[in-house]
């Protein structure tokens, strides 16, 4: 049921059935394994292929094809995330429709506090919803929280391997060229530790479809100061590889 609002983005419809539904793809693609890693590190996908730790699984054809790989030693899928909630969240909804129900996300984000070192891991507790995607899957709210069970499990695992991590909010935005100083200041005051572009949408999709979802993001470039500092975050290969494999081990144990 839709309640008319002043702005269309706030008119959430909780009806699970749409005109086109992801489960329709089962007729063509069959059922997929239930576990999935979403990584934003294309270089790590290539490395895992070279090391023969993953192999090609299937391609979901469309205007933008989604290439899905599978780990060679388990029925766990992995794909390279696409920038933006509608892209990655849309692909996630399709894969949930094909049978995926346990998901780990790993990527990078810009820090909103300059005392957070590059490479620090953030277990996502929730996201400030400055996006569009999430409002089609969850009723309007300022913040959307991650699955509590998944979050606790992730923290427990990271502690077991003595990993250094934070737990906190992200700021999800659709427009990385509109991260103004005033908005950054406001989001910091609200408690966001990093800014990224997918969490609100992915959390909302997983919650709407009753899938277990967790995310670990490594702290990259610094957007907290007057001048942007890349901190060479895209070249932190060891961090990116380790984080992907950590998320793989976590989702296997979900």
CATH code, residues 26-253:
3.40.50.1580
- Segments making up each domain of the chain, as ranges: 26-253
Q: What is the pLDDT of residue 220?
A: 60
For 95-127, the pLDDT digits (tens) are 999 999 999 999 988 888 888 887 789 999 999
Rg (CA), the chain: 18
Residue whose token pair is 């590889």: 241
Q: What is the pLDDT of residue 224?
A: 55
For 68-86, the pLDDT digits (tens) are 999 999 999 999 999 999 9
For 44-65, the pLDDT digits (tens) are 999 999 999 999 999 999 899 9
**pTM given for the model:** 0.93
Q: What is the pLDDT of residue 93?
A: 98
Residue whose C-alpha is closest to residue 215's, from 131, 141, 154: 154
For 194-245, the pLDDT digits (tens) are 999 999 999 999 999 999 999 999 886 555 555 545 545 445 557 889 899 9
């Amino acid at each position: 049921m839709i309640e008319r609002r002043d702005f269309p983005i706030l008119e959430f419809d909780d009806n699970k059935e749409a005109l086109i539904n992801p489960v329709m793809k089962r007729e063509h693609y069959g059922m997929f394994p239930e576990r999935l890693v979403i990584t934003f590190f294309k270089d790590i996908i290539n490395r895992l292929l070279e090391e023969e730790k993953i192999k090609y699984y299937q391609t979901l054809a469309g205007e933008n094809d989604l290439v899905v790989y599978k780990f060679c030693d388990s029925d766990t899928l992995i794909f390279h995330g696409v920038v933006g909630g509608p892209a990655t969240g849309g692909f996630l909804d399709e894969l949930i429709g094909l049978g995926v129900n346990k998901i780990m996300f790993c990527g990078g984000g810009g820090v909103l506090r300059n005392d957070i070192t590059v490479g620090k891991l953030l277990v996502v507790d929730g996201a400030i919803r400055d996006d569009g995607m999430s409002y089609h899957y969850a009723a309007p709210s300022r913040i959307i929280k991650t699955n509590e069970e998944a979050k606790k499990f992730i923290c427990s695992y990271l502690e077991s391997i003595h990993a250094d991590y934070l737990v906190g909010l992200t700021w999800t935005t659709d427009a990385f060229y509109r991260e103004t100083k005033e908005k950054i200041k406001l989001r910091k005051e609200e408690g966001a530790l990093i800014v990224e572009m997918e969490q609100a949408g992915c959390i909302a999709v997983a919650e709407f479809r009753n899938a277990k979802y967790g995310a670990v993001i490594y702290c990259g470039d610094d957007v907290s100061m007057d001048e942007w500092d890349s901190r060479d975050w895209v070249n932190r290969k060891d961090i990116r590889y380790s984080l992907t494999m950590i998320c793989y081990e976590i989702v296997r144990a979900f």
